[in-house]
């Protein structure tokens, strides 16, 4: 029996269906702020209170949203693959915890809103309690007065790149869900999967920038399209589904 490895990349489109606000608007501003002001190390150094307030608002919003049908379908699909001796890697560009709450194991390549990091001792802590935009959280290990968001800002290196590269080299099927195809290095994963000989699937509201004719494209909202897409993929590789 052929053993398959399915690699899934998710972007803002899957979280938008749960009501998570996307950071960037049509004018390139993040909630009314220039990207340089709230999403770069330089912005953090120049005005940490502004950056902290921005991310505290994003963190607090997580308490108002829930995983949608696409998140749950991915978790169930991973379990079905495991029962059939196939393997699965889920990578997300999103910094929310919706995949985690749906039951998935996920590589957060751009970091996580519910984690904070100390710039002095590198301690990373999970924090789902402190959402006050006017009060920094000190490091419980070394006492540094303010932890920073555990987010990959522009100019910083994404997390888990080695694990992602390993998954790309061995994947037989690659699925891009709700991605724009313009933010690198994530946008390059579709091309790398094609080069590895993988069957490529793409879901989005509109065709992304990196779509090619050979990709199996499914248009529509993630919550509506992804469950059926995964059933189609499961049938293609001979996996019985629980859904």
* φ, ψ of residue 142 in degrees (nearest 5): -110, -5
- Give the gyration radius of the chain's Cα atoms: 18
How far is Cα 141 from Cα 130, in angstroms, rounded to an integer?
A: 17
| DSSP-derived pairing of the beta strands 216-219 and 199-204 | parallel
**Structure-block tokens of residue 224:** 């509506």
In the beta sheet, which residues pair with residue 87? 5
Q: Angle formed by the axes of helices 222-236 and 69-83, to 10°?
A: 20
Cis peptide preceding 185, ω within 30 of 0:
yes
Question: Contact, 110 vs 153, CB < 8 A?
Answer: no
Residues designated as active site: 110
Q: What is residue 85's DSSP assignment?
A: T
Task: Report which of 52, 27, 26, 21 is spatially closest to residue 39, judged by C-alpha positions.
Answer: 52
What is the CB neighbour count within 10 angstroms for residue 56? 20
Find all residues with CB under 8 Å of 149, minimum gap 6, and list them. Answer: 51, 52, 55, 111, 113, 116, 117
């Amino acid at each position: 029996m052929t053993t398959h490895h399915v690699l899934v990349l998710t972007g803002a489109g899957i979280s938008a269906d749960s009501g998570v606000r996307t950071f960037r608007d049509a004018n390139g501003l993040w909630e009314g702020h220039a990207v340089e002001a709230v999403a770069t190390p330089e912005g953090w150094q120049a005005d940490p209170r502004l950056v902290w307030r921005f991310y505290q608002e994003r963190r607090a919003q997580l308490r108002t949203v829930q995983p949608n049908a696409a998140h749950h379908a991915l978790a169930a699909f991973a379990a079905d693959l495991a029962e059939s001796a196939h393997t699965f890697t889920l990578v997300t560009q999103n910094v929310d915890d919706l995949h985690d709450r749906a039951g998935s194991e996920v590589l957060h390549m751009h970091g996580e809103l519910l984690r904070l990091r100390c710039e002095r001792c590198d301690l990373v802590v999970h924090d789902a309690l402190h959402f006050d935009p006017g009060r920094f959280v000190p490091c419980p290990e070394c006492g540094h007065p303010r932890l920073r968001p555990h987010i990959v800002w522009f100019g910083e290196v994404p997390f888990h790149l080695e694990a992602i590269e390993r998954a790309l080299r061995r994947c037989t099927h690659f699925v891009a869900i709700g991605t724009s195809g313009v933010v690198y290095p994530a946008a390059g994963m579709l091309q790398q999967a094609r080069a590895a000989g993988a069957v490529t699937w793409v879901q989005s509201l509109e065709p992304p920038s990196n779509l090619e004719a050979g990709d199996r494209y499914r248009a529509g909202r993630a919550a509506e399209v992804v469950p059926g897409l995964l059933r189609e993929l499961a049938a293609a590789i001979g996996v019985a589904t629980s859904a």
